[in-house]
Structure 1
């Protein structure tokens, strides 16, 4: 999207200015501020489709198109077998900047290509920029 904006072209609607995310029930509401910040910064809207379980996620991914899906890593092989995912471009996503401690999930690499990103269970990736991300502090910290 930003590459297209360099040339003075910015689509008004459609695929280019919306990111569809398939994730877990309850996460969309919790990420609303991050989605709003991302949209404000980029002009790209976020549509979050929530599901209750892995089977529902696999089914929905097979019937609708998403930019990002959040299956657990032990399901990536079945997603690949169903042609629901494509390998990540590690250079494009800056994978080398991720702490190597998080590289160890062998289930994200299939046939020497990476299909999932490192994660921490219960953690959720944020959308936005460092410039606009809210500062979070733990209760009782300075």
Structure 2
């Protein structure tokens, strides 16, 4: 294989998917926020905007799945604050008793549901510190 073919293969995107047969009670979704950049020889943070809903229904279920119409509610978000994987800080937002709470080390504060939008990521490709949702936790209503 020539160098150009190798380079094209390495740069091409691979699309994969799966179908869920048994829906979990707690669904954890990990957003890919770090990528190894060969030209830099290091990982960089991907701060692109990902809008995650407060309510979620999965549509990639197998035809014989149980509870196809199961709804999920967002109950927690782990947020990475910083410019890269080797620097920064993590905070957590948790829904408890109908209220959203932001946990930042020993500081706990109540926030509005609309404040979660601040953690979707950046709307431009500007490389700077960002607070981006990293791991999402959804709980089944059933």
Same fold at TM > 0.5: no
Larger of the two Rg values belongs to structure: 2
Is the helix fraction higher in 1 or 2?
1
> With CA pairs under 8 Å and 6+ residues apart, which has the higher RCO, 1 or 2?
2
Is the strand fraction higher in 1 or 2?
2
TM-score normalised by L of structure 2: 0.21
TM-score normalised by L of structure 1: 0.21
